[in-house]
Structure 1
Amino acid sequence: MKRFFCAFAFLGLLTAGPAQAQRLGYIDTEFIMSKMPEYAQAQTELNKLSDTWQKEIEAQQKDIDKMYRTYQAEEVVLTEPMKKKRQDEMLKKEQELKAYRTKQFGYEGQIFKKRQELNKPVQDKIFEAVEKVVKAKKLDIVLDKASDLTMIYTNPTFDYTEYVLEELGLASPDRNQPGPKGPVRTVTPPKTPAANAATKATTDSQFESDSGPPEAPAGTKTRTGTKP
């Protein structure tokens, strides 16, 4: 998959006109495939095959281990020809197991071929969607962020992954949409020291007018209106 889109990207680099400014974009094929039900179904089938073959390998390995234990237990009573025969049998079993493991899980083995077979329809759908986005957005080059091509920095402005998902009918409703507007909140500005002092003075005068003059301490004589 990675090689496929790398080749697609470099093909665009070669065919784009050098005389004019080139419009560049990128996509994330791994993210796109993770959203596709066909890809999930293919992975499930691959996992089942892998588990089946792995169990067969483990069963063969158990048989070989059993042969070794039996040989070690009986080695002292075996003649040299019998030892040689047992050793050849165990060696043959080990070679058969190694060949089977390579056939199923080795380079270009059965699991590799089956993965290509199951993923090809997914790749074809993504490629068709990318072609539509390229034509609609008038792009010259499309890179794959998930490929072996190192992308040190990517500007989200040039990310066309969501547009490809839209072509596949898998776009998220909250992507490529303006953010929701929240309620407008007003904040009361803080009072200045002068305003606080004026407020305090007003409060004190109101307190005095409501409560009257302060009472004299107990035992203190108050003067009357007569002259001394």
Structure 2
Amino acid sequence: MKKIIIMLMALLPMAAMAQNAKFGHIDTQSIMQSMPEFIKARGELEAEQKQYENELQEMQKELQAKAEKYEKEKATMNATMQQSTEQSLQEMYTKIQQAYQDNQQKIQKASQEKLQPISTKLQNAIKAVGKAGNYVYIMDISAGIPYISETLSKDISSDVKAELNKMK
């Protein structure tokens, strides 16, 4: 009997603590998309991507013009000239493909470089709000969580936005 009473006394604080546990939820994507530094980075990335697209379009136009010229003059060319022109066209096509792949890698690298500090800043703000509010867990609803109880979990988006404003 004495052991049961001791065990209940030991479990009682844990049960009380579980009832007072605070849970929060947040939509990190919507907060990030409203951050001025994210908007600026997205604009820079879009401009860079547009520049790469324009360069590729110019290369494709040049290839198309040379291919059309080749088709018109093909009948009057000797075999050596045809082979040389076809090889040149193939090299241009390969160069365009390589440029496309290189541009994709550049955009991906630039995206990581520009967005990582923003993501880190947001995570730090979430951690600060979590610590200050004594939250046990903060769930990111943009991660596709199917259900969050509005009565048991608090939306801390405004708290995180306020913390982000302090970090400027």
Q: Give the TM-score normalised by structure 1.
A: 0.60
Greater relative CO, 1 or 2 (CA 8 Å, sep 6+): 2
Rg larger in structure:
1
Counterparts of 1:99 and 1:155, CA distance in 2:
50
Cα displacement (A) at 1:121: 2.1
CA distance in 2, matches of 1:64, 1:43: 31
Distance 1:145 1:103 in 2: 35
CA–CA distance in 2 between the matches of 1:69 and 1:155?
64
Structure 1, residues 135-176: CA drift from partner, whole Å, max 9, x if none? 1222222222223xx311233443222211111129xxxxxx
Aligned to 1:152: 146
Task: Provide the secondary structure at the position in 1 that maps to 2:131.
Answer: helix
| Deviation digits for residues 106-156 of structure 1 (CA, Å, limit 9, x no counterpart) | xxx110110111112211211111111111222222222223xx3112334
More helix by share: 2
CA distance in 2, matches of 1:45, 1:65: 30
What is the root-mean-square deviation in Å for CA atoms of aligned residues? 2.0
Which amino acid in structure 1 is aligned with residue 90 of structure 2?
L
Separation in 1, partners of 2:94, 2:45: 26
Corresponding letter in the other structure for 1:68: A
What CA distance in whole angstroms lies between the structure 2 residues aligned with 1:74 and 1:167? 68
User: Partner of 2:43 in structure 1?
Assistant: 44
User: Match for residue 119 of structure 1?
Assistant: 115
Higher strand share: 2
Uncovered stretches (5+) of structure 2, i.e. residues with no partner = 1-13
Structure 2 residue 138 is matched with structure 1 residue 139: no
Give TM-score scaled by structure 2 length.
Answer: 0.80
Letter in 1 for 2:82: K
Query: How many residues are treated as equivalent by the alignment?
Result: 148
Identity across aligned pairs (percent)?
A: 24
